[in-house]
Amino acid sequence: MEQRPKQMGRVLIVAGSDSSGGAGLQADIKTVTMLGQYAATAVTAVTTQSTKGVTDVEAMAPGIVASQMRAVLSDIGADVIKTGMLHDKAVIETVLAVIDDVAFDGDLVVDPVMVATSGSMLLQKDAVASLKTLIAHASLVTPNANEAEVLTGRLINTVDDMIAAANDILDTGAEAVLIKGGHLEGATSTDVLVSAKGECRITSDRIDTTNTHGTGCTLASAVAALLSAGLTLEAAFEKAHTFVHMAIKAAPGFGGGHGPLGHARVRLDID
């Protein structure tokens, strides 16, 4: 009898498009694909973007976002929903309404995208409260240190500050928090994962490069892909960190600003 391939994990990515291909939906799809899983999408916004910055944003109507999600969930289904750029209050509330309405019982990975690597704002200021409501429903939330400061009102300068902020976010209802330390100073960079099970830290030497466009999207999508494949959260965190590190080192060097990662060059065994 012919052996059938192992069932692919299914990740529904709800996020914005990046015309440069370095971040957003494009980075998410590349990441999930290179990790051997299936990526479906619901586009929340279209950005005009290069490695140097974002020059325009066109938000999708909330009804279109909802219909995309429902089309995927009612047919292909999803093991994990991963959110990225949600842009405004109406879209965030729509995403939460769809998740509740279909009684989604998989993992929800929320990457609270607020600011692009270039510094451009990607979330309207009045949407932060709605984002916090979505985070309260998350299996995992993946802010960088700056985003964690906005979510908690806590200044973050050290790894201990990151852990304290993660615990603040856990108290709001999220099941686990992964705070990325790449924005902090120092020769090394530490990411921390905090949940009811405890904490896990990964520290690595900082790579001297400007090719960091889309690192946050890539890490969150890598964790989502690995969770969809059946890995534990801790194992997914460790392998996702390795994937991002390898992708930064494999960056093609495109663009005159913050260049994209080399997703397509990464080969990582997840079994």
Is 212 known to be catalytic?
A: yes
Predicted confidence at residue 2, as pLDDT, reads 47
* Catalytic (active site) residue 133: no
Q: Please give the Cα distance from 202 to 34 (Å, whole number).
A: 22
Tens digits of per-residue pLDDT, 134-144? 999 999 999 99
Candidate list 36, 212, 239, 259, residue with the active-site label: 212
Which entry of 21, 106, 117, 217 is annotated as an active-site residue? 217
List the chain residues with pLDDT less than 70: 1-6, 116-122
Domains of the chain from N-terminus onward? 10-256 (3.40.1190.20)
Give me the phi and psi of 21, to 5 degrees please: 80, 0
pLDDT value, residue 119:
59
Which tens digits make up the pLDDT trace of 32-65?
999 999 999 999 999 999 999 889 999 999 999 9
SS3 content of the chain, % helix, strand, coil (to 5): 40, 25, 40
Contact criterion met (CB below 8 Å) for 238 and 191:
no
Catalytic-residue membership of 215: yes
214 included as an active-site residue: yes
Catalytic-residue membership of 200 = no
Phi and psi for 192 in degrees, rounded to 5?
-125, 135
As a whole number of angstroms, the longest Cα–Cα distance in the chain is 60
Instruction: For residue 26, give both structure tokens.
Output: 């494009």
Spatial distance between the Cα atoms of 109 and 129, rounded to a whole number of angstroms = 18
> Count of CB atoms within 10 A of residue 196's CB?
7
* pLDDT at residue 43, rounded to an integer: 98
22, 215, 218, 239: the catalytic one is 215
Sheet holding 140-141, edge to edge: 53-59, 38-50, 10-18, 80-83, 107-110, 140-141, 176-179, 188-195, 198-205
Residue with tokens 């309405």, as numbered in its chain: 101
Please report the pLDDT score of residue 120 as a whole number: 60
Tell me what pLDDT residue 84 has: 96
What torsion do the CA atoms of 125, 117, 99, 196 make, to the nearest 10 degrees? Answer: -100
Check if 253 is active-site.
Answer: no
